[in-house]
Amino acid sequence: MRDLRNELNVATQCGRCACHARDVLKEALYQIQEPMIASAA
């Protein structure tokens, strides 16, 4: 989350968008990991 804030200036002011940014980050990380999990099975 810190990298996201530094690179994209997300949640640098009031932080109200931080929960949405965190959700997007989690979804993106899951999508990256999903193919690796499927290929390992």
Query: Would you say the C-alpha torsion 8, 1, 25, 32 has a positive or negative sign?
Result: positive
Domain ranges of the chain: 2-40
pLDDT digits (tens, 9 = 90+) for 1-41: 888 889 988 888 888 889 999 999 999 999 998 877 777 76
Report phi then psi at 27, rounded to 5. Answer: -65, -45
Q: What is the pLDDT of residue 41?
A: 62
Q: Which pLDDT does position 19 carry in this prediction?
A: 92
